[in-house]
A and B are shown apart, each in its own frame.
Chain A
């Protein structure tokens, strides 16, 4: 028996055992008719606590609007704080499954917390839904049958249309990327750089800075001296906030245009910013300034409930709740039949999502979207938000590539960015 085989059989034994050991707890006595328990994992403390709070808000908003009941069964939501820390996330996931007997898990924000929980549910088959976790390989090379990206996106999916836009519509030829030094960044930059270079563009340099970089000035100095046509920035949270601000203060804004990942100009970042963020272009499935009636309605309701514009986190978890609702209805509330429930979730076509367009999963468990190219603009009331410039229809996680061929390519990493040398 070779090593790998041994390991996989070992994990199978672990899985089987985990199921039998906790079996009586997972299925409460009144399986049908009792409440459906949903374990919601969100970072309520730690570095991304703000996003975590909005995840809970968005998820709860849906159930408050639609009643916490599906097919006659109560919905019970149990929230646990993953503390922005993968060890804690893992521990809390165990706790939700083994002690609180949840039927399914949903949530987590940081990729490392999501990957830790995914590894855990791989062993015991508990359905785990990830509207925020964008790690490519969870729906590509390392798929887990019970981990589904409802209402989410994969990291390299969104930057590809942006790269096309940058090359063809704006005529940019030379790009410098700056990104947080972790997988989410490698994948977003990879998606951008591969498409941009295959179009004929040139990637002058890629900066990878540690998460929580306080002072961007060393990078800003170098970016300036490289004289690119455009900068592609992959920053999230406080890093995004600082980068945008210091970019303006160093006088680069207006000189070198900035493109970004969707997190860079998400409401969670720009709601505390001023004119510095004006004019940054990014790409995303969601655009809070869209004039689609469904989006306008959602944004208005969200603003009324929480007195702020919805971020990606609030929107994704709201849609995720909607998706779960549809899936649970399809199996008439029988979430205990996991294969059937998961199959139903995969078949959901979300027609009334806040996007105003139907959303469905591809064969690999990742949604296909019409992607907005969007720009940050000032609203009449002084708040900044993203408004659509144009729409690219039917973008899957594989973009224009054939899935099977694409999956043979290596995963994006700091050393592999799919850049075509011209």
Chain B
């Protein structure tokens, strides 16, 4: 029994990371229809930026902030310098981000080499803690809380700010927002930066327990894809549930069907795409 609880905790904490990364992904996908295949590369870049800052300043908080800002800046550049030139053509945008992912990934290899790095975390978060009969890593519990905070923060942003309102309206019908005389391009830029920043934060958080290594970007990207496909694009609650679903599948899948480790994640994703392409919680446009 306690074993199941333990594994459920593992699934939930892994889901927490997936949520942070995938929420950025789904915002961009929901509003702009861009499947940003460079999202994993942004995650990796964020992780490396965080690593550098954490080593220099010994501060995990600064590492998170720096990664968020730096990756948001990359997001800004990506959107205004690259994606806008192929504006309106979804497929070209997707393929362009694929090219960008290749470039960023190789760039990271040149700059940081291929060793596996871990973002150092504060002493207070290291090691395990005893909760009842359960011994569990403090950091993973912190991650769980952090993701809840991100969820609340994003929900407030979407509910109570003008940008949030525009994003919500844009997800439903971008054309209508545009027709109302609102500069939707600005909304797009902000959203892209926000999504990128979330990937960057995810990179630091993930880099602290999953390490940063040359193919970490594609590993996290396929998980995010699965989350967003299952949860439905542009839906925050859907992403949360999708993350939990994928996190649990990944954990219990490895325990129960070690041979089918990949099938348990991509099988449901493929079936959903085929029969309910908008995901479990996606709204029709």
Contacts and interface: CB of A to CB of B under 8 A. Distances in A.
Interface string B245-271: 000001110110010011000000000
Interface string A234-276: 0001101110011011110000000000000000110111000
Given A222-B255, A249-B209, 9 more contacts: A47-B114, A49-B214, A50-B114, A214-B219, A214-B220, A215-B210, A218-B255, A242-B211, A271-B115
B137 A53 contact: no
B209 to A, nearest CB: 7
Contacts of B109: 45, 49
Interface in A222-239: 222, 225, 237-238
B77 interface: no
A246 to B, nearest CB: 7
Given A217-B10, A217-B251, A251-B135, A46 B113 contact: no
Contacts of A23: none
A172 B140 CA distance: 31
Interface string B98-111: 00000000100100
Contacts of A272: 115-118
A217 B116 contact: no
Interface string A186-226: 00000000000000000000011110111101110110010
Contacts of A248: 127
Interface in A272-294: 272-273
A51 B219 CA distance: 20
A349 interface: no
B211 A221 contact: no
B122 to A, nearest CB: 13
A48 interface: yes
Interface of A: 45-53, 207-210, 212-215, 217-219, 221-222, 225, 237-238, 240-242, 245-246, 248-251, 268-269, 271-273
Q: Determine the interface band of chain B, counting residues with CB < 8 A from chain A.
A: 35 or more
B116 A238 contact: yes
Contact of B10 (A47, A51, A215, A238): A215
B179 interface: no
Contacts of A269: 116
A222 B214 CA distance: 29
B85 interface: no
A250 B118 contact: no
Interface of B: 3, 6-7, 10, 13-14, 106, 109, 113-118, 126-128, 135-137, 139-140, 209-211, 213-216, 219-220, 250-252, 254-255, 258, 261-262
A249 to B, nearest CB: 4
Contact of B6 (A45, A48, A207, A221): A221
A214 B139 CA distance: 16
Given A215-B210, A249-B137, A249-B139, A209 B258 contact: yes
A333 to B, nearest CB: 35
A221 B118 CA distance: 22
A246 B109 CA distance: 24
B128 A50 contact: no
B214 A47 contact: yes
Looking at A213, A215, A271, which has the most chain B CB atoms within 10 Å of its CB? Answer: A215
Contacts of B215: 46-47, 212
A245 B209 contact: yes
B9 to A, nearest CB: 8
Nearest to A210: B261
Nearest to A248: B127
18 contacts: A49-B113, A50-B115, A53-B114, A212-B215, A212-B219, A214-B210, A214-B220, A215-B251, A217-B7, A218-B251, A222-B255, A241-B118, A242-B210, A245-B211, A249-B140, A269-B116, A272-B117, A273-B118
B209 A238 contact: no
A268 B210 contact: no
Nearest to A267: B115
